[in-house]
Amino acid sequence: MRKNQMNVSAPGKLILCGEHAVVFGRPAIALPLSSLRAYASLTPGPAGSGLLIDAPDLARRWRPQGQDDDPLGSLALRTLERLALPLPDALLTLRSDIPQASGLGSGAAIGTALVRALAEALGATLPPEAVSGLVYESERFFHGTPSGIDNTVVAYERPVWFRRHLALPGDGEPPPPTVLLLAVAAPYCFVVADTGIRSTTRLPVGEVRRRWRAAPERFAELFDEIGGLALQARRLLEDGGPPLMLGRLLDQNQALLGEIGVSSPELDRLCTAARGAGALGAKLSGAGWGGVMLALTTPENAPAVATALHAGGAARVFTSELAAG
Ligand code: PMV
């Protein structure tokens, strides 16, 4: 193990379009949020001290034992097992600037930082695909049936086109998801607003599954429409298409998310406020019922949209640029 402290970080994320439908095998697009990050540091400890995890944000310090109700500790143990390395004598400190349960990928970011800190401090290299695969397992604990989009975009820290492949009955494990790193041809500017309402992903995801079971054909159509919007959005991003057209797609996606039942009065109010201030399009981002929404704007109009979002009751507003490249 390295003698010095090892510090690493991982970004938050935004889902540009396709959330929820992605759980049911339709494509979606996610963007890394590099300005909001989770951090992990590994500090060598005295010989024989074992591994201690410290999460000051959660006011918790503990030794991982591999229990089911300890997703982060279990992730640390699984990472060491995967690397065929023994438990280090070290203090693993986890911190995050990403608000929890807000649709910003806080769980995936902490998991990713944890895996990388352990691997890098112990001199091992894990490609993003392997990091993502390890974090997916702990996402299961938080989310129930995660699509895998959060751990993927966070591990690659690039805009991704993501499609989960569903297992057919009797077919065993499905093939791994299709992940494409998107080359974005022009910059786009987003203003992101947090409703301040924390929403656990598993609740709206569970409700959408319940509604889908009750009306499978109708929901399959809605998911197909959302997947179709994701495809159009991908073409626009890759061609550097007009922001006005991307904005329209976001508005259409928001209308469909409302139909599947995951928007909320607060999210609707913020989307309306953003559009009223000249945003080119607006939608919730993530699981919904709370958490964040995003508005596509021109760089010139971003301050006016931010002001309108504050006035519309947002608990926190920030701007994020999707750079070309
Ligand atoms: O983790 P959240 O709240 O950003 O939700 C992720 C997006 C969903 O499509 C709702 C769930 C998933 O696993 O893809």
Q: Is the CB–ligand 1 distance for residue 257 below 6 Å?
A: no
Mean pLDDT of 22-29: 97
pLDDT band of 237, cuts 50, 70, 90: very high
Report the mean per-residue pLDDT for the chain.
95
Q: Which of 13, 15, 229 to mutate to test the pocket of ligand 1 (most atoms within 8 A of CB)?
A: 15
To which residue do tokens 């944000």 refer?
A: 57
Q: What is the pLDDT of residue 61?
A: 95
Q: What are phi and psi of 195, to 5 degrees?
A: -65, -20
Q: What is the tens place of the pLDDT at every residue in 157-198?
A: 999 999 999 887 777 888 899 999 999 999 999 999 999 999
Q: How far is the CA of 103 from the centre of ligand 1 (A)?
A: 7
Confidence tier at 6 by pLDDT (50, 70, 90): confident
The pLDDT of residue 234 is 98
Question: In this predicted structure, what is the pLDDT of residue 5?
Answer: 84
Tell me the CA–centroid distance for residue 142 and ligand 1, in Å: 11
Interval between CA 244 and ligand 1 midpoint (Å): 26
Tell me, using a 6 A CB cutoff, whether residue 287 lines ligand 1: yes
Of all residues in the chain, the percent with pLDDT exceeding 90 is: 85
CB-CB neighbours of 266 under 10 Å: 22
Separation CA 259–CA 261 (nearest Å)? 5
Task: Name residues whose C-beta falls within 8 Å of residue 133's C-beta, 6 or more positions apart in sequence.
Answer: 151
Task: Supply the pLDDT for residue 268.
Answer: 98
Q: How far lies 250's CA from each of 51, 76, 233, 253, 280, in Å?
A: 45, 38, 9, 5, 9
* Per-residue model confidence as pLDDT tens digits over 206-233: 999 999 999 999 999 999 999 999 999 9
Residue 284, CB-side half-sphere exposure with 13 Å CA sphere? 30
Does ligand 1 come within 6 angstroms of the Cβ of 205?
yes
Pocket lining: 98 vs ligand 1, CB cutoff 6 Å: no
Average pLDDT estimate for 73-90: 94
Contact 293, 192 (CB under 8 A): yes
Report whether residue 139 contacts ligand 1, using a CB cutoff of 6 Å. Answer: no
Q: In the chain, count of helices (H) and strands (E)?
A: 9, 11
Whether the CB-CB separation of 29 and 269 falls below 8 Å is answered with: no
pLDDT in tens, 293-309: 999 999 999 999 999 99
- Whether 100 shows a pLDDT value over 80: the answer reads yes
Question: What are the pLDDT digits (tens) for 32-80?
Answer: 999 999 999 999 999 999 999 999 998 899 999 988 788 999 999 999 9
Angle subtended at Cα 265 by Cα 30 and Cα 242, rounded to the nearest 5 degrees: 40
Protein residue closest via CA to atom 13 of ligand 1: 146
Which atom, in ligand 1's list, is nearest to the CA of 291?
Answer: 3
